Structure 1
Amino acid sequence: MQLSVIILNYNVRYFLEACIRSVQAAITTLDAEIIVVDNNSPDDSCDMMRNTFPEIQLIANTENVGFAKANNQAVKVAKGQYVCILNPDTIVTEDTFIQLLKFAEKTENLGSIGCKLIDGSGAFLPESKRNIPTPMVSVKKILGNKNSGYYSELKENEIGKVAILVGAFMLMKKTVYDAVGGFDEDYFMYGEDIDLSYKIKKAGFQNYYYGKTSVIHYKGESTLKDKTYAKRFYGAMQLFYKKHFKRNFVYDVAVTLGARLIPLVSPSNKTTKKEIHSCFIVTNSSERFQQIQAVYHPKKCEQFETVDELLLQANHKNQTEIIFDTHFIDLKSSIQIFEKQLGYYKILPKNSTFILGSDSSKNRGEVLMLTKN
């Protein structure tokens, strides 16, 4: 088997379904499998998996064992030559895996590959490609220095060598994953991807960033930017520092203080309510148009059957929501429009009864249920 796509889920049932449907569309021409691990979600994620995707292997944990351990569980049973660690709040394009596997096959000494991640508004996520968070870099970042060197200088649409990738999307040979011992289970949540990337690099492999394919990472679904997040993130960075760098009193004190003080001053999330005056629905189905229109009633809705017409009308109307019916327009084309940042966006996944999207990488997204006509 060529590829195993591993999705770790916790309590994001609708985003998980949308993610799986995008992955299914992306592996139609590949010898591939999907493995979903659920970390004891309190929602109906497992019931949805059993009822909607009975053919997909589900590992249903009876407790939340954390990011590292759960992914390690799945890799142990994966049959693919390559494994892709994928967040449930992501949407891949139809050719994402095809492009990356083609690149992997011709690249020597390959470690892990990451790709261009954008949030639900189409904005590039700079953590897609990072440098090693040395003590000096960590201290600068903790102090809020924008020129800390935390992010790679590689341009977002380029392909090149990088040190650190993000755990929302990491593709590598299973032999590489096994050679470095997989994710370190000392980490519960956050920091595991930095640690794994660094272990791969220290083992003599080279990590790459591939900026020619874009993947949506809604991010707010799995990474709410609140004080709990800050505490866990800086705690993970403290663990990474202690494991991989020689002890230095000054840096040790600075990182320790940062890990303890930053959570105390981190602002809590406050969602700003957006104003939607109209919606543009990209579909060729009058039935699906009416279903979506009912959600937005009494706001004005317009139907578009060509991308050119949509782009002409949208043109940075920030109070417009654009909904992509993926029965009609493919995900790759939809994501290309996302990146133009013309307004707010939602997606209707194939064979689903809801639309979803997110307007910020810092807050939870929105799921709107469709009513039957």
Structure 2
Amino acid sequence: MDLSIIIVNYCTYELTKQAIKSIISKDHPFQYEIYLVDNASRDGSLEKLQKDFAREEETGLIKFIASTRNNGFAHANNLALKECSARHVLLLNSDTVILNNSLTKCMDYMGVDSSIGALGCKVILPDGSLDKACRRSFPTFSVSFYRMTGLSRLFPKSKRFGKYNLTYLDENETYEVDSLVGAFMLVRSDAIHEVGLLDEQFFMYGEDIDWCYRIKSSGWKIMYYSGAEIIHYKGGSNNTRDKSRLTTEFYRSMYIFYNKHYRDDYLFIITGITYMGIWGICSMKQILNRLKNII
């Protein structure tokens, strides 16, 4: 098998169906399979998807995995990763649509350079703008500081201040980066075997940056490839009205990542400032969310 595609569904029936159709509606010059992992949906979406794609399930094109508990995005993907045996694996969000022959282009590009461990494409939001998360630098202290203080927004074309989302680089070019977004991440299985599965400490944010960090640290390239495009209906897969939970998980992922990869590299005072920054901003956003709810 050339490619295993993993899609996690959590109460996103229409979006997930659309994502699957954007794959199987096209002819691909390689063998592929789709793993649809349902993360304990409560809306009957799993049953509806099984009915819609019964023929594909019968032929083995689509394999369904039903998780009994929602233990997060990383855990759900790992359920499928443990069963995959293809040479490449694609993590694909349920709120995405693959455009034209982008999947074939990405597979071809991976075949050109065997040193590429993970590849991401040009991710477009519904309004036509670039999803900036599709090409990022690792969140070192300085990179995060420029981001949190707003300097990255004030000087997006600065190589120093715009490093978080690489806004100083042309989105229509192809180059090596630090990190990709988990909405579309094509990973070589050899790299996965070397670095291991996704870290399940991360519930729904940060697992993609952590994976890229481990892959790059092992000597593999992380590539942003602008020759392929998808649409990302961003936020559609975060099917929850609990903004407080989303905010907490977002900043908790920052804390986990820093502790795991950077804490031993910085002085104690830098670590203290980092912790205060993470939880201080998290607390302020929680207060703002509550005020909005009251209003």
- The TM-score with structure 2 as length reference comes to 0.86
1:81-134 per-position Cα deviation (integer Å, ceiling 9, x unaligned): 111000000000231111011101011311100011111221111111001111
Which amino acid counterpart does residue 284 of structure 2 have in structure 1? V
1:235 alignment counterpart: 252
* Matched residue SS, 1:189: coil
1:77-156 matches, cutoff 5 A: 77-146=83-152, 147=161, 149-152=163-166, 153-156=168-171
* Matched residue SS, 1:186: coil
Which amino acid counterpart does residue 163 of structure 1 have in structure 2? D
Q: Percent identity of the aligned residues?
A: 36
Taking the aligned partners of 1:148 and 1:262, their CA distance within structure 2 comes to 20
- Shift of the alpha carbon at 1:188? 1.4
* Matched residue SS, 1:15: helix
Give yes or no for the alignment of 1:215 onto 2:230. Answer: yes
Which amino acid counterpart does residue 250 of structure 2 have in structure 1? F
Taking the aligned partners of 1:221 and 1:258, their CA distance within structure 2 comes to 28
- Shift of the alpha carbon at 1:231? 2.0
- Shift of the alpha carbon at 1:227? 4.0
2:16 alignment counterpart: 16
- Shift of the alpha carbon at 1:244? 0.7
Which amino acid counterpart does residue 240 of structure 1 have in structure 2? F
Contact 1:25 1:94 in 2 (8 A): no
Cα 1:79/1:19, change in 2 over 3 Å: same
- Shift of the alpha carbon at 1:228? 3.1
Structure 1: which 5+ runs fail to align?
271-373
Considering Cα pairs closer than 8 Å and 6+ residues apart, tell me whether 1 or 2 has the greater RCO: 2
Larger radius of gyration: 1
Give yes or no for the alignment of 1:37 onto 2:51. Answer: no
Give yes or no for the alignment of 1:2 onto 2:2. Answer: yes
Contact 2:28 2:104 in 1 (8 A): no
Taking the aligned partners of 1:44 and 1:27, their CA distance within structure 2 comes to 30
Which amino acid counterpart does residue 195 of structure 2 have in structure 1? V
Taking the aligned partners of 2:267 and 2:172, their CA distance within structure 1 comes to 37
Contact 1:231 1:262 in 2 (8 A): no
Taking the aligned partners of 1:5 and 1:101, their CA distance within structure 2 comes to 12
Cα 1:27/1:75, change in 2 over 3 Å: farther
2:280 alignment counterpart: 261
Higher helix share: 2
Taking the aligned partners of 2:65 and 2:149, their CA distance within structure 1 comes to 41
2:72 alignment counterpart: 66
Which amino acid counterpart does residue 123 of structure 1 have in structure 2? S
- Shift of the alpha carbon at 1:45? 1.4
Structure 2: which 5+ runs fail to align?
153-160
Contact 1:132 1:163 in 2 (8 A): yes
Taking the aligned partners of 2:67 and 2:127, their CA distance within structure 1 comes to 33
1:370 alignment counterpart: none
1:282-321 matches, cutoff 5 A: none
Taking the aligned partners of 1:259 and 1:4, their CA distance within structure 2 comes to 36
Taking the aligned partners of 1:172 and 1:242, their CA distance within structure 2 comes to 25
Give yes or no for the alignment of 1:248 onto 2:267. Answer: yes
Taking the aligned partners of 1:27 and 1:257, their CA distance within structure 2 comes to 51
Cα 1:149/1:248, change in 2 over 3 Å: same
**Aligned positions, number:** 270
Cα 1:26/1:83, change in 2 over 3 Å: farther
Q: CA RMSD in A?
A: 1.9
Give yes or no for the alignment of 1:182 onto 2:197. Answer: yes
* Matched residue SS, 2:187: strand
Which amino acid counterpart does residue 65 of structure 2 have in structure 1? I
